[in-house]
Chain A
Amino acid sequence: MKPGIRTSSKSRNALRYMALAAAAALPLSLPSGALAQSDTIVIARDTDFNTLDPSRSWCDTCQIYLTAVYEQLVRVGTDNESIVPRLATDWSVSADGLTYTFNLDPKAVFSDGSPVEAKDVAFSLMRLKNLKGGASFLAEGIDAADTPNAQTVVVTLSAPDPEFLGKASAPYGAIMNSDVVAEHGAKAGADADSTDQGEAWLLENSAGSGAYVLDSYRPDDELRLVVNPNYYRTAPDASTIVMREAQDAVSQMQMLQSGGADIAMQVDPDTARSTTAEGVTTELVPSYNFIYVALSPGAKGLEVPLTPKIREAIGLAIDYEGILEFTTGGAADLIASPIPTGFPGTSGLPMPVQDVAKAKALLAEAGSPNGFSMVAAYPETNIYGVDLSTMMQKIQQDLSKVGVQLQLEPVTFAVWRERVGGDHIPMTAVYFAPDFYGSGQYVGYFGMVPGVPWYNRAGGDDADGLANAKMQELMEAVRTVAPADAPGLYNQMALEMIKDRVIIPLINPKLVLAYRNGITGVRNAVCCNLPLEELSKN
Chain B
Amino acid sequence: MTHYLLRRLLAMPFLLLGVVTMAFLLGNFVKGDPLASLLTDRQMDNPMVVAAVKARWGLDKPIPQRYAIYIRNLAQGDLGVSFRTKRPVLRDLLDRLPATLELVLCAMTFGSLVGTALGVAAAHWRNRLADHGARLVALIGSSVPVFWSGLIALYVFSVQFSWLPGPGRLDPALRPPETVTGFYTIDALIAGDWVIFQNALAHLVLPSVMLGWAVLGIISRMVRATMLDVMQEDYIITAKAKGAGTLRVLLRHALRNAMVPALTIIGFSFAYLITGAILTETVFSWPGVGSYAVDAARSLDHPAIIGVTIVGALAFLLANLLTDIAYVFANPRIRLE
Q: Are any A and B Cβ atoms less than 8 Å apart in their complex?
A: yes
Q: Which residues of A contact B (CB under 8 A)?
A: 3, 5-8, 10-11, 15, 26-30, 35-36, 40, 42, 44, 50-51, 58, 131-134, 136-137, 193-194, 199-200, 203, 218-222, 242, 244-247, 251, 254-255, 258-261, 411-418, 421, 430, 435, 445, 453, 456-457
Contact of A137 among B36, B46, B84, B205 (CB under 8 A): B46
B64 at the interface (CB under 8 A from A): no
Whether the Cβ atoms of B45 and A421 lie closer than 8 Å is yes
Q: Which residue of B lies closest to A10 (CB)?
A: B247
- In the assembled complex, which residues on chain A have CB atoms less than 8 Å from the CB atom of B292? 220
- In the assembled complex, which residues on chain A have CB atoms less than 8 Å from the CB atom of B41? 417, 430
> Given A259-B173, A412-B300: A30 and B246 within 8 A (CB)?
no
> Counting chain B CB atoms within 10 Å of each CB, which of A42, A136, A219 scores highest?
A219
Q: Which of B165-184 contact A (CB under 8 A)?
A: 165-168, 171-174
Whether the Cβ atoms of B247 and A35 lie closer than 8 Å is no
> Counting chain A CB atoms within 10 Å of each CB, which of B37, B95, B167, B174 scores highest?
B167
Q: How far is the CA of A415 from the CA of B297 in the complex (A)?
A: 13
Contact of B86 among A28, A203, A254 (CB under 8 A): A203
Contact with A along B198-230 (1 / 0, CB 8 A): 110110010000000000000000000000000
Q: Which residue of B lies closest to A432 (CB)?
A: B41
Q: Which of B287-304 contact A (CB under 8 A)?
A: 287, 291-292, 295, 298-300
Q: How far is the CA of A70 from the CA of B236 in the complex (A)?
A: 75
Further contacts, 20 of them, CB under 8 A, given A29-B165, A35-B173? A5-B124, A5-B249, A6-B246, A11-B247, A26-B201, A28-B164, A29-B171, A30-B165, A36-B173, A40-B173, A50-B86, A58-B42, A137-B43, A137-B46, A194-B56, A259-B173, A412-B299, A418-B32, A421-B44, A453-B42
Whether the Cβ atoms of A254 and B159 lie closer than 8 Å is yes
Summed over the interface, the residue pairs from A and B with CB atoms below 8 Å come to a total of 167
- In the assembled complex, which residues on chain A have CB atoms less than 8 Å from the CB atom of B158? 29, 254
Q: Which of B271-308 contact A (CB under 8 A)?
A: 285, 287, 291-292, 295, 298-300
Q: How far is the CA of A445 from the CA of B205 in the complex (A)?
A: 50
> Given A220-B295, A414-B34: A30 and B43 within 8 A (CB)?
no
B92 at the interface (CB under 8 A from A): yes
Whether the Cβ atoms of A27 and B202 lie closer than 8 Å is yes
- In the assembled complex, which residues on chain A have CB atoms less than 8 Å from the CB atom of B287? 218, 220-221, 245
- In the assembled complex, which residues on chain B have CB atoms less than 8 Å from the CB atom of A416? 32
Whether the Cβ atoms of B173 and A219 lie closer than 8 Å is no
B61 at the interface (CB under 8 A from A): no
Q: How far is the CA of A22 from the CA of B126 in the complex (A)?
A: 28
Whether the Cβ atoms of B300 and A260 lie closer than 8 Å is no
Q: Which residue of B lies closest to A37 (CB)?
A: B173
Q: How far is the CA of A259 from the CA of B166 in the complex (A)?
A: 11
Q: Which of B228-283 contact A (CB under 8 A)?
A: 240, 245-247, 249
> Counting chain B CB atoms within 10 Å of each CB, which of A11, A137, A435 scores highest?
A11
- In the assembled complex, which residues on chain A have CB atoms less than 8 Å from the CB atom of B337? none
- In the assembled complex, which residues on chain B have CB atoms less than 8 Å from the CB atom of A3? 240
Whether the Cβ atoms of B86 and A199 lie closer than 8 Å is yes
| Minimum CB–CB distance for A455 against chain B, Å | 10
Q: Which residue of B lies closest to A58 (CB)?
A: B40
Contact of A27 among B95, B117, B162, B199 (CB under 8 A): B199
Whether the Cβ atoms of B246 and A42 lie closer than 8 Å is no
Q: Which residue of B lies closest to A251 (CB)?
A: B167
- In the assembled complex, which residues on chain A have CB atoms less than 8 Å from the CB atom of B199? 27, 30
Whether the Cβ atoms of B32 and A137 lie closer than 8 Å is no
Whether the Cβ atoms of B201 and A194 lie closer than 8 Å is no
Contact with A along B10-38 (1 / 0, CB 8 A): 00000000000000000000111111110
- In the assembled complex, which residues on chain B have CB atoms less than 8 Å from the CB atom of A136? 43, 49
- In the assembled complex, which residues on chain B have CB atoms less than 8 Å from the CB atom of A28? 162-165, 202
B132 at the interface (CB under 8 A from A): no
Whether the Cβ atoms of A42 and B162 lie closer than 8 Å is no
Contact of B172 among A7, A42, A50, A412 (CB under 8 A): A42
| Minimum CB–CB distance for B272 against chain A, Å | 24
B85 at the interface (CB under 8 A from A): yes
Whether the Cβ atoms of B166 and A132 lie closer than 8 Å is no
Q: How far is the CA of A50 from the CA of B124 in the complex (A)?
A: 58
Q: How far is the CA of A173 from the CA of B179 in the complex (A)?
A: 36
Q: Which residue of A lies closest to B194 (CB)?
A: A27
Whether the Cβ atoms of B87 and A219 lie closer than 8 Å is yes
B48 at the interface (CB under 8 A from A): yes
> Given A35-B173, A42-B172: A412 and B285 within 8 A (CB)?
no
B53 at the interface (CB under 8 A from A): yes
B1 at the interface (CB under 8 A from A): no
Q: Which residues of B contact A (CB under 8 A)?
A: 30-37, 39-46, 48-49, 52-53, 55-56, 84-87, 92, 95, 117, 124, 158-159, 162-168, 171-174, 195, 198-199, 201-202, 205, 240, 245-247, 249, 285, 287, 291-292, 295, 298-300
Q: How far is the CA of A353 from the CA of B53 in the complex (A)?
A: 43
| Minimum CB–CB distance for A412 against chain B, Å | 6
Q: How far is the CA of A276 from the CA of B299 in the complex (A)?
A: 35
> Given A203-B87, A251-B167: A417 and B202 within 8 A (CB)?
no
- In the assembled complex, which residues on chain A have CB atoms less than 8 Å from the CB atom of B34? 414
Q: Which residue of B lies closest to A202 (CB)?
A: B86
- In the assembled complex, which residues on chain B have CB atoms less than 8 Å from the CB atom of A8? 245-247
Whether the Cβ atoms of B172 and A456 lie closer than 8 Å is no
Whether the Cβ atoms of A193 and B202 lie closer than 8 Å is no
- In the assembled complex, which residues on chain B have CB atoms less than 8 Å from the CB atom of A134? 39-40, 42-43
Q: How far is the CA of A180 from the CA of B195 in the complex (A)?
A: 39
| Minimum CB–CB distance for B206 against chain A, Å | 11
Q: What are 11 A-B pairs with beta-carbon distances under 8 A?
A: A29-B163, A29-B164, A35-B174, A35-B195, A50-B40, A134-B42, A137-B42, A219-B92, A251-B166, A418-B36, A453-B42
Whether the Cβ atoms of B172 and A244 lie closer than 8 Å is yes
Contact of B45 among A6, A132, A199, A453 (CB under 8 A): A453
Q: How far is the CA of A132 from the CA of B117 in the complex (A)?
A: 62
Contact of B246 among A11, A132, A219, A421 (CB under 8 A): A11
| Minimum CB–CB distance for A373 against chain B, Å | 23
Q: Which residue of B lies closest to A457 (CB)?
A: B45
- In the assembled complex, which residues on chain B have CB atoms less than 8 Å from the CB atom of A411? 32
Q: How far is the CA of A245 from the CA of B99 in the complex (A)?
A: 15
- In the assembled complex, which residues on chain B have CB atoms less than 8 Å from the CB atom of A40? 173
| Minimum CB–CB distance for A348 against chain B, Å | 29
Contact of A247 among B37, B174, B285 (CB under 8 A): B285
- In the assembled complex, which residues on chain A have CB atoms less than 8 Å from the CB atom of B42? 58, 134, 137, 435, 445, 453
- In the assembled complex, which residues on chain B have CB atoms less than 8 Å from the CB atom of A137? 42-43, 46
Q: How far is the CA of A145 from the CA of B202 in the complex (A)?
A: 56
Contact of A415 among B32, B46, B87, B202 (CB under 8 A): B32
> Counting chain A CB atoms within 10 Å of each CB, which of B39, B46, B166, B240 scores highest?
B166
Q: Which residue of B lies closest to A15 (CB)?
A: B117
> Given A220-B292, A414-B299: A260 and B86 within 8 A (CB)?
no
